[in-house]
A and B are shown apart, each in its own frame.
Chain A
Amino acid sequence: MATTDDGTGHWFGADGQVSQLRGTLFKLSCLGATLLALGLVFVFLLYVFNDAIRPASADTGWLLTVGGATVLPAAALAVYYYRRDTRAGEVAYTAFGLPIVTTLLAGGVLIVFRDIITAHEWLAFVVAAAIAYAVVALHRRVRSNSATALERAAIAVLVPVLAIIGVPGFSVDRSIQTPLLGQELFTLSVSVPSLVPSLRGLILAQPALPIPPLSLLLAFTIPIAAAAAWHIRRVRECDRDAAIAGGATVAVAGLGLIAAPLVGLPTTAWVVMTTVVGIPVGLYVESVFRRREGVTGLAFPVVIAFGAALAFAVVETLGFAGPNLWLDWSFLMSGHNTTPREAGIYPALVGSVMMLIVVSVAAFPIGVGAAVYLEEYAPSQGHLSSVVELIEINIANLAGVPSVVYGVLGLALFVRGIGMQAGIVVVGGLTIALLILPIVIVSAQEAIRGVPDSMRQASYGMGATKWQTVRNVVLPRAMPGILTGTILALGRAIGETAPLLMIGAAAVVRVPPDTFFSLFSAMPRQIYSWSRLIDADFRYGVLAAGVVTLLVVLLMLNGTAIVLRNKYQRQE
């Protein structure tokens, strides 16, 4: 045995000689390695932040004011929470982080409504979807006993399709070739005009639609406020509170129609901000008060906000100059420019958001479906079991294939195979969706495995079928775990660069993409093209600002996933 000392025949070392020094040295070197790994990257990141924000370029007065008004009180409170009330500490950090995360999310939503889908299109979509849902539900109720399965299925498929897509016209014009050899067989040229317009299209064609902010209020705020009110009704078991919560949200958002122009904010931004930031924060504060645990933690964000306002007032009156940032509002809101000071990341930011939409729409359903099959349906015997085993091994290996190979796959499959244009959003999104699919599947499998078997058996005991059990018992229970895994995978997706290079994402895009079929650039792609520039201002300033933007978005995604996982684990 390796564990026996051959020389003495004793179990490790000579009798009575226990060296403490060796053990201590070993322990210290292990600790040192851990800290070295963390410390190295931490030091690098400090340098990046320093280059992007340049605190040394601010007046001493500015630094003292900001430090005294916000950093000191925050640190004092943090020490208090750490020593006296750890539960309040958790509340404090969540209450501080939640508005920041939701503000970023609101920024993403604003980008969507600004560059991807207009408020009117969204209104038409929501109304059409609601009508389709109502028709299907009505049909179920009216003909619940006499309808055949075929009829029900037909209604359930046809009505939503007619409402949202209609029967679109299409035209095909390409030559059919034999696979691999490329000999031309015949040319196919068909053109069908649009047959039935969709309900969505009909609504959109109305001459008098409500103004954009009002449309958002109707189709965006009201559904979310209704969901929040429904949640309040369930947890408080009180209709009045629910009505107050929902009504107040809509009222505050609606107030923006009048108040926003007075304050000087865009009305749309007001509506989106109050909805996306206000509702989650309100629900969290409500839950803290309801549980009556760590209520003092809520003071933390309030103190910091007051401190920031105070510091702002003092700095304005005394005329201290702030740091000369690279990462400022104009960097976030403008496109690439050959002058470093004018350069910005906005088009790449929009490109990343649109790409993430494609990635999640493509990878989430397929990944969860595959995980459900492998965990719930896959046979352990019979002729299919070897196929299942092959799939399992294959997924594990796909997770380790280099991302650059996925890039080549995307290029070969979507650009050269199907003939889509190189470098458009859909191609980038689908390529990266293939890349993160194995990660989504593996994490969803773990989440589904965590659902206790007794719950499945209880469901079967009630006479439910397999699919009913999966849909009503397994998936709702596993959903937090699945979401955690998916968010982490999306974090991976947002940082991937090599596949984007391979599918030909643009190095420089001056206008954000406006459809899913336009050319795009993404944040990491933009960072890479800046790194090719020799100019020191680009290399140390603009590049650092871009890296910080990317890291902040990524930390938010990963932080949300970790919070979700902790919360979920505590409930177990």
Chain B
Amino acid sequence: MSTDSIAADLTGSVDGRIAKERLYHWLLFGCAALTVIVTGSIVVTLAVDAITFFRQVNVVAFLTGTEWESSRDTFGVLPLVTATLIVTVISALVAIPIGTAAAVYLSEYASDRARSVLKPALEILAGIPTVVYGYLALVYLTPWLRTAGLELSLFNLLSASIMVGIMIIPMVSSISEDAMSAVPDSLREAGYGLGATKFEVSTGVVIPAAVSGILSSYILALSRAIGETMIVVMAGGMQARMLDVTNPFANLFSSGQTMTAAMVHAVTSDATGGTPEFYSMFAIGLTLFFITFAMNLLSNRIAARYREEYQ
């Protein structure tokens, strides 16, 4: 098919060909530029409605309030922030040790054959929809933890955060593994040449050399945990509760509402277009967007620095 079209184009007018080339150039540029437009429209649309929200609710009261009761028009964001923090911390405690250890095993110890099975298996875990993870947390994990003797309510932050942690393990392990595999073999050989054991080379050479890649995987995973919605909505419940510093386990074992869950609540409850509750969604969304955007930017910076080191 291509032969006669090329022949026709080559014998066609030069002007037409240049115009065509230029047209395709700008068309493709438009596709790429669309991503910037998407970012811009996220910021603009969220900001416009967030401004509407802050006309109705005082900004200071929003940022410092310790009570979030949308039915009584009380909007203090701190309970949502603390619940999000709890989820992030617990999920990090689950995902970071397991994910890093899995990455070390895959990159340093696993045979080619074991890696060819384990790595795709972990990748498949990353592809499981979050609604399924939420279901697993609600229907299996919470009852298990209850039989193990924890006094959990039906919806609780503990099983939600553990499940978020399990969900982000593949992210930590696959990015960290990439970073560790990229460490040049000459460094390892130098270590062995000095008489180091495999354990010493892994912990003393490979991990320090790949540390920026590993750190960037942690930040990415945490940003994912902050933005995770379905697991916390399904298993964590919808009740905003301020962190009780004297007894943090009370928050962990009972239901709580994260920022993302509050957004879902705002849109699925009976709140109609004009109410402050509806607009609060945009204010939280804007905050969430900037937090995750900043974290991703940071992670990219750290990873880029690491990439320059060994090329």
Contact = CB atoms under 8 A, between A and B. Distances in A.
A390 B36 CA distance: 8
B128 A370 contact: no
A377 interface: yes
B76 interface: no
A154 interface: no
B120 A562 contact: yes
B124 to A, nearest CB: 6
Nearest to A149: B16
Interface of A is mostly: helix
Residue with the highest number of chain B CB atoms closer than 10 Å, among A11, A373, A405 = A405
B60 interface: no
A495 B132 contact: yes
Contacts of A33: 97-102, 105
A529 to B, nearest CB: 10
Contact of A531 (B98, B129, B135): B135
A387 B29 CA distance: 10
A402 B229 contact: yes
B35 A412 contact: no
Interface in B115-154: 118, 120-125, 127-132, 134-136, 138-141
B195 to A, nearest CB: 7
A298 B35 CA distance: 47
A27 B31 contact: no
A468 interface: yes
B46 A398 contact: no
A505 B99 CA distance: 35
Interface string B90-105: 0000000111111011
Given A391-B36, A397-B297, A554-B127, A527 B28 contact: no
B166 A465 contact: no
**Range for the number of chain A residues in contact with chain B:** 35 or more
Contacts of A238: none
Interface string A401-418: 111111111011100010
Given A29-B101, A370-B31, A497 B129 contact: yes
Given A37-B169, A393-B300, A397-B297, A12 B267 contact: no
A149 B227 contact: no
Interface string A510-548: 000000000000001001100100000001100100010
A434 B38 contact: yes
A571 interface: no
Residue with the highest number of chain B CB atoms closer than 10 Å, among A150, A152, A527 = A527
Contacts of B120: 562
A48 B132 CA distance: 10
Given A3-B204, A366-B31, A401-B227, A31 B109 contact: yes
A558 B263 CA distance: 30
Contacts of B8: 140, 144
A367 B295 CA distance: 24
B257 to A, nearest CB: 13
B249 interface: no
Given A34-B105, A501-B267, A391 B35 contact: yes
Interface string B70-102: 000000000000000000000000000111111
A370 B292 contact: no
A36 B124 CA distance: 15
Nearest to B169: A37
B245 interface: no
A242 B134 CA distance: 51
B45 A465 contact: no
Contacts of B243: none
Nearest to B16: A149
B208 A2 contact: yes
Contacts of A377: 25, 28-29
Interface stretch (A39-47, A98-106, A327-335): A39-47
B292 A400 contact: yes
Interface string B190-211: 0100111111101111001000
Contact of B21 (A30, A365, A465): A465
Interface in B252-311: 260, 263-264, 267-268, 281-282, 285, 288-289, 292-293, 295-297, 299-300
A502 interface: yes
A400 B224 contact: yes
B42 interface: yes
Interface string A541-565: 0010001001100110010001000
Given A497-B130, A558-B124, A148 B106 contact: no
A69 interface: no
A235 interface: no
B186 interface: no
Nearest to B10: A463
A427 interface: no
B292 A149 contact: no
Nearest to A13: B200
Given A37-B102, A395-B35, A402 B227 contact: yes
A528 B108 CA distance: 40
A37 B33 contact: no
A438 interface: yes
A501 B134 CA distance: 15
A540 B109 CA distance: 40
A477 interface: no
Interface in B1-27: 2, 6, 8-13, 15-17, 19-21, 24-25, 27
B41 A527 contact: no
Contact of A554 (B28, B128, B223, B292): B128
Contacts of A409: 38, 41-42, 45-46
B296 A400 contact: yes
A391 B38 CA distance: 11
A149 B260 contact: no
Interface stretch (A18-26, A111-119, A159-167, A262-270): A18-26
B62 to A, nearest CB: 17
Interface in A55-91: none
A209 B8 CA distance: 39
B28 A373 contact: yes
Given A491-B127, A531-B134, A23 B198 contact: yes
Contact of B173 (A13, A37, A40, A372): A37
A370 B32 contact: yes
A40 B140 CA distance: 11
Residue with the highest number of chain B CB atoms closer than 10 Å, among A3, A18, A48, A369 = A3
A437 B39 CA distance: 12
A404 B130 CA distance: 12
Interface string B223-257: 11011111001100000000000000000000000
Given A370-B32, A373-B29, A472-B6, A408 B38 contact: no
A535 to B, nearest CB: 13
A337 B70 CA distance: 32
B179 interface: no
Contact of A27 (B16, B199, B208, B289): B199
A434 B45 CA distance: 15
A11 B130 contact: no
Contacts of A464: 6
Given A149-B13, A396-B296, 11 more contacts: A370-B28, A387-B33, A393-B300, A402-B260, A409-B38, A409-B42, A467-B24, A491-B127, A492-B127, A497-B130, A498-B130
14 contacts: A2-B208, A3-B205, A23-B197, A148-B13, A369-B28, A377-B25, A400-B220, A401-B42, A402-B226, A402-B228, A404-B227, A465-B9, A496-B129, A540-B139
The 7 A-B residue pairs with the shortest CB-CB distance in the complex, in nearest-first order: A402-B227, A495-B129, A149-B16, A369-B31, A33-B101, A23-B199, A412-B45
